[in-house]
Amino acid sequence: MSLSKFFSSINSRLKGKSKFKLSLYLIAILIIAIFLIFFPKLVTTPYFIHIFVLAGMYIVLSLSYDLVVGHVGSLSLAHPAFFGIGAYAGALLAIKLGVPMGITLLAGAIMGAVLAILIGIPSFRLGGHSFAIGTLGFALAVEIIVRNWVKVTRGPMGIPGIPKPVLRFIGFFEWRLENLGDFYYLMLILVILTIVLYKLVDTSRVGRAFRAIREDEILASANAINPLANKMLAFTIGASIAGVAGVFYAYWFSLVSPEIFGMALTTTLLIIVFVGGRTSLRGIIVAALLVTVIPEFLRITPELRLVLYGLILLLTILFFPEGLEGIFQRVEKRK
Amino acid sequence: MNILIEQILNGLILGSQYALVATGLALIFGVVGIVNFAHGEFFMVGAYIFYLFYRNDTLGAYFLAVTAAIVVMYLLGRAYERIVINRIIDRSWHSQLVATLATSIILINLAILIFGTTPKVTPTVLSKTVVSLGFINISYQRICIFLVTGLVFILLNLFLQKTKLGKAMRAISQNRDASEIYGVDIRKVSEVTIGIGAGLAALAAGFMSPLFNILPTMGLLLVLKAFAAVIMGGFGNVKGAIYAAYLIGIIEALAIGYSHHIYIESAYKDVFVYGIMILVLLLRPQGLFGKKVGI
How far is it, in rounded angstroms, from Cα A115 to Cα A141? 12
Residue range A197-219: average pLDDT?
85
- Report CB contact under 8 Å: B224, A130: no
Average pLDDT, chain A: 82
Residue, of B8 and A65, whose pLDDT is higher: A65
Instruction: Report ipTM (2 d.p.).
Output: 0.80
Q: Has residue A143 got a pLDDT over 60?
A: yes
- The pLDDT value given to residue B259: 67
Q: Which residues of A touch B (CB under 8 A)?
A: 69, 73, 75, 122, 125-126, 128-130, 132-134, 136-138, 140-141, 144-145, 147-148, 263, 267, 270, 274, 301, 303-304, 306-307, 309-311, 313-314, 317-318, 321
User: Rounded CA gap, B267 and B256, in Å?
Assistant: 8
> Which span out of A242-246, A275-279, A304-308 was modeled with the highest average pLDDT?
A242-246
Looking at per-residue pLDDT, the higher value among A138 and A175 belongs to A138
pLDDT digits (tens, 9 = 90+) for B84-128: 898 888 888 778 888 898 899 899 989 998 988 888 887 777 777
Radius of gyration, alpha carbons of chain B = 19
Q: DSSP alpha helices (H): ranges in chain A?
A: 2-15, 19-42, 46-66, 79-92, 101-123, 128-148, 150-153, 180-203, 205-215, 217-222, 227-253, 263-276, 281-298, 302-319, 323-334
For B205-234, b/e burial (b = at least 16 CB within 10 A) is bbbbbbbeebbbbbbbebbbbbbbbbbbbb
**Amino acid sitting at position B81:** E
Q: Mean of the pLDDT values across residues A97-112?
A: 85
| Residue B228 vs residue A173, higher pLDDT | B228
Q: What per-residue confidence (pLDDT) applies to B201?
A: 92
pLDDT for residue A1: 45
| pLDDT, block means (10 residues), chain B with 295 residues | 79 89 89 88 93 83 90 94 88 84 90 87 76 75 86 91 89 85 87 93 89 85 85 80 88 78 69 78 72 50
What pLDDT was estimated at residue A5? Answer: 59
- Tell me whether strands A255-256 and A174-176 are parallel, antiparallel or unpaired: unpaired
Check if the beta carbon of residue A85 is closer than 8 Å to that of residue A258. no
Closest CA to A253 of A153, A152, A154, A162: A162
Contact B47, B212 (CB under 8 A): no
What is the radius of gyration, based on Cα positions, of chain A? 20
Yes or no, beta carbons of B109 and A304 under 8 Å apart = yes
More confident: B236 or A256 = A256
Mean of pLDDT values over A59-81: 89
Cβ distance of A138 and B278 shorter than 8 Å? yes
pLDDT score of B46? 93
Closest CA to A198 of A286, A67, A7: A67
Q: Does the pLDDT of residue A2 top 60, yes or no?
A: no
Reply yes or no on whether the pLDDT at A13 is more than 70: no
List the single range of A29-43, A100-114, A276-290 with lowest mean pLDDT.
Answer: A29-43
Contacts of A307 in chain B (CB under 8 A): 105-106, 109-110, 113
Closest CA relative to residue B33, chosen from B164, B161, B159, B176: B176
Per-position b or e across B33-71, b if 16+ CB within 10 A of its CB: bbbbbbbbbbbbbbbbbbbebbeeeeeeebeebbebbbe
Tell me, what's the pLDDT at A201? 87
CA proximity to B44, closest of B98, B117, B141, B97: B117
**pLDDT at residue A296 in the model:** 74
Chain B residues with at least one Cβ partner in A under 8 Å:
35, 84, 87-88, 91, 93-95, 97-99, 101-106, 108-110, 112-113, 220-221, 224, 227-228, 231, 235, 265, 267-268, 270-271, 274-275, 277-278, 281-282, 285
